[in-house]
Amino acid sequence: MNQKIISLGEALLPSQFYPLARQYLAWKKLRKDAKVISLIQAYYTNLEVDTEIAEVIDYLPRCGITMHPYKWGFLYYEDFTSKFDEIKVFHDKILNLPYVYLNEKRLYYPNTFSNKKIKCMFYVLQDVEQHPLSPHRYLTEDFDVEVDDIVVDCGGAEGNFGLNIVDQVKKLYLFEPEEIWMEPLRATFAPWSNKVVIVQKYLSDITDDMNISLDAYFKDKEYPTFLKLDVEGFEEKVLHGSDKMLALNYVRKVVTCTYHYADDEKKLGALLRSHGFATKPSHGYMIGGLDKIRPPYLRRGVIRATKK
């Protein structure tokens, strides 16, 4: 269920009406999504589908169009209110920045963000996207960072991925172009300033005033061993800008989002395999991307690649 709709409903209604309001909004959403659900079902009717796709097709009439069309995702959204209330937002009076705790570490946000926006963002990015069953999950028990890893986080944003692993790794580079995240990121990673580098640049396959390629950035530095890419559809450009680095044997693992565009899984997988990586998609599928909802409607969330 759309969290903006939930938030609006909860802001306007007394708490005792939440369950009824949620049921009504869920029903209304399913009616609105019915046409698109029919298109998706028709698209896959004449195709040979795996059990993972069949699971999604079977569940769509219950959950509607959502990025995570699974029972676990639906239950998370159903339980949105209680989990939302569990998230506590604090305020650092010295830095004048709000923060939440992530594994007993402070994760800071811009002081222009409301408490509700912070809670919603934290909940979606940490509890939903990185849920153990989520197709968007970056790391697993079998695919994780190592103690000697030099990690590059391409698309750092608020820094939740980096904060989750900062104690485990040798060095961490955070590439994030948006000015609004600079002060919060510096505050979040201040305790690890000896091994965290924040780079305010757009990553691409070119280098100019605003953009930089990973090959150019690391030409006079120790090469990274682990890359995480979540850069809103620019994953292919970032990988092309890492050609020299990927051709060598320093980078051992890459995890990249593949749902932003329809052919991302095919293109990015082929590119990584051309550099000697073995690739494996995450379990399950997501719906939608930057090119909106169009075939193929169901897309792998990420590819995890390991150097052979």
Residue closest to 148 by CA, chosen among 223, 92, 82:
223
Contact 242, 269 (CB under 8 A): no
Same domain, 156 and 206: yes
Q: Is the pLDDT of residue 2 over 70?
A: no
For the chain, the C-alpha Rg in angstroms (whole number) is 20
101 three-class SS: strand
Same domain, 209 and 113: no
Same domain, 115 and 245: no
Provide mean pLDDT across the span 28-33: 81
Same domain, 262 and 157: yes
Same domain, 101 and 219: no
Residue closest to 254 by CA, chosen among 84, 236, 262:
236
Domain total of the chain: 3
Report the alpha-carbon distance of residue 161 to residue 239 in Å, rounded: 19
Same domain, 193 and 289: yes
Provide mean pLDDT across the span 248-270: 95
Whole-Å CA distances, 21 to 4, 8, 11, 34, 37: 13, 11, 12, 20, 23
For residues 218, 224, 228, 232, the Cα torsion angle rounded to the nearest 10 degrees is 0
Domain-embedded: residue 58: yes
Q: Where in the sequence is the domain holding 215, given as residue range(s)?
A: 150-307
Same domain, 161 and 276: yes
pLDDT band at 120 (very low <50, low <70, confident <90, very high): confident
Write the DSSP string, 293-308: S-SS-EE-SEEEEEE-
Amino acid 84: pLDDT:
73
Average pLDDT over all residues of the chain: 89
Q: Which two tokens stand for residue 68?
A: 């995570």
Q: Is the pTM of this model over 0.85?
A: yes
Same domain, 65 and 110: no
Domain-embedded: residue 133: no
Provide mean pLDDT across the span 51-79: 82
